[in-house]
Structures are given as C-alpha cells and as structure tokens.
Amino acid sequence: MADTSDTLHRAPSGHLGPSYKPTEEQPSATISTQVKLANVTILPQTPQLIALLTMIRDERTNRADFIFYSNRINRLLVEEALNHLPVLASTITTPVGRTYAGVAFEGKICGVSIMRAGEAMEQALRECCRSVRIGKILIQRDEETSLPRLFYDKLPEDIGERWVLLLDPMLATGGSALMAVDVLRSRGVPEEHICFLNLIASPEGAANFAKKFPKVRIVTAFVDQGLNEKNYIVPGLGDFGDRFYTL
Ligand code: URA
C-alpha cells in the first residue's frame, strides 16, 4: 500500500521546549500526525519523546544507541498501556497512621511479542511488570502469495483470562498484527482485552486496525506520514529488527 494521498506527505510541525524561551526561539520539530480514531492513543509529543525519536530515526545512530533510546521509548509506551488496564479501589494506611484512598491493579496480564522485532520490546515490559508471562507469535509473509502466514505461536494456556499487551515496534500495513489478533481471539482473548504497543504507526495501519478490530487499543509514540512502495514507514527509521539486532 503506497502513500498516494498528498495529505500523507504533509507532516505537522510544532514548537518544542520549555516556556522560559519565547516561542520564536523554541525549535520547530515534526510532531505526530493526529488521527481521529477512538482506539488510538498517541504519546504526548514532549521534547524528550521527540529527542528520543530523533535519535532512533537517525541513520547515523549506532546499534548500542539505537537499543538504548528505543528501550526508553518502549518504557513510556508500556507505562501508558498499563493506564488502559482496569484498577480496583484500594485504601491503605501510611507509616504515619493516615489512610490513603488509592487503586490497585486488577486482573492478570500477559505480553505477546510478534517475532522478531516485537521481542525488542520485552525488556521494557519486564522492567515495568516483574515476572510477566510473555508469549510469542511468528508471522511471515508467504513468498508465493505475499500474504502474512502464521509459522509459530507459543502462548500461556490461560491467555483467555488475561489482558494482553501485544508488542511490535512498527505498525506498517498492520498485516502481521491483524493476524496476531486473530490468533489471540481464537485462544479466547476478547478484542477489548488487547492493547497493541508500537513505536511508529502509519495512518494506513492504524486505520486498518480500527476498521477490523475497533475495540483493540493502540498505544503508539508517533503516527508517521505514510508508507513507501516497499511498505516501509516514512520518514520512519528503516528496518527496526535489523537496526536492533544485526546492523
Ligand atoms: N517494519 C520495519 O521494521 N520498518 C518499517 O518501516 C515497516 C515495517
């Protein structure tokens, strides 16, 4: 799916930086396209997030830095995704004998990474949720049909009773992730119990998801301009798996 629409080529721009600088002295940066889809949450376009994304988008960034900075964004994504899971009222007593009306997490969770790039997001999930169970799904494009094909999955037996954080850093056409949701639903996971985390999404991928699975929540750091003729996200960051594992 190539980006043929002119609107996809135009990126929004915003001034970034603390307010002690007047607006005209703050640098202008490209910020995420906003999409009118109820299921999509885009992280706040803070100077920190834009600086982290600038690092991992840069073709000169070496692998060690790519891993370090993408992990920092992954942490932000996981923390935001956890906000979409249910909580229960929990009133506790503090060491000074006062009560505090708070909340506690409700329900069990599970990560599911779409191999291989999704595995790069597992560390951030483990850092936020100690001993979290993590399932795996391997989907690859069939050489003959060009359609995504399921090669392997290994998921917890009780995944149908869990809230699932689905991990894949780049939402391009959405073909693999849509198939991964089909697999999860076939194991009894309700659509509304799935939250899909990615660093960069294309408008086309987000729209495809909203159309087929409107109840699946998407948490992304950035919606980019579109896809090129090879279905790479543009401006994007190239092949995430190659940059994280092999380059
Ligand atoms: N997967 C990637 O790694 N990069 C893209 O741009 C699209 C899919």
How much distance in Å is there from the Cα of 234 to the middle of ligand 1? 9
How many CA atoms lie less than 13 Å away from 71 in the CB half-sphere? Answer: 13
Q: Determine the Cα–Cα distance for residues 127 and 163; give it in Å rounded to an integer.
A: 18
CA 151 from centroid of its chain's CA atoms = 22
Helix (H) or strand (E) holding 56: helix 47-57
In a 3-state reduction of DSSP, which class is residue 62?
coil
CA 32/CA 57 separation, integer angstroms: 14
Mutate to test the pocket of ligand 1, among 1, 170, 244, 245 (most ligand atoms within 8 A of CB): 170
Count CB neighbours of 219 within 10 A: 24
Q: Tell me how far the alpha carbon of residue 132 lies from the centroid of ligand 1, in angstroms.
A: 26
226-227 and 233-234 as β-strands: parallel, antiparallel, unpaired? Answer: antiparallel
Q: How far apart are CA 77 and CA 102, in angstroms?
A: 23
Instruction: Give strand ranges (E) for 43-186.
Output: 87-93, 99-105, 108-115, 134-141, 148-154, 162-167, 170-171
Mean pLDDT of 49-59: 98
Measured by CA distance, the residue closest to atom 7 of ligand 1 is 232
Question: Which pLDDT value is given to residue 1?
Answer: 45
Cα distances (Å, whole numbers) of residue 240 to 12, 120, 182, 233: 24, 9, 24, 11
| Residue-wise pLDDT tens digits, 25-40 | 888 999 999 999 999 9
Strands annotated E in the chain: 13-15, 28-30, 40-42, 87-93, 99-105, 108-115, 134-141, 148-154, 162-167, 170-171, 194-201, 217-223, 226-227, 233-234
Catalytic residues: 141, 145, 239, 242
Assess whether pLDDT exceeds 70 at residue 227: yes
Q: For the segment 156-170, what is each residue's pLDDT rounded down to a tens digit?
A: 999 999 999 999 999
- Chain-centre distance of CA 202, in angstroms? 12
Nearest CA to ligand 1 atom 3: 239
Q: Is 236 in the pocket of ligand 1 (CB under 6 A)?
A: yes
Pocket of ligand 1 contains residue 245 by CB under 6 Å: no
Average pLDDT over residues 129-148: 89
- The topology (CATH level 3) of 33-245 is Rossmann fold (3.40.50)
**pTM (two decimals):** 0.93
Domain ranges, ordered by start, for the chain = 33-245
pLDDT for residue 134? 98
Quick one: what percent of the chain has pLDDT higher than 90? 85
pLDDT at residue 3 in the model: 45
Mean pLDDT of 128-154: 91
- How far does residue 121's CA lie from ligand 1's centre (Å)? 15
Determine whether the shortest distance from the Cβ of 233 to ligand 1 is under 6 A. Answer: yes
Q: Is the CB of 111 under 6 A from ligand 1?
A: no
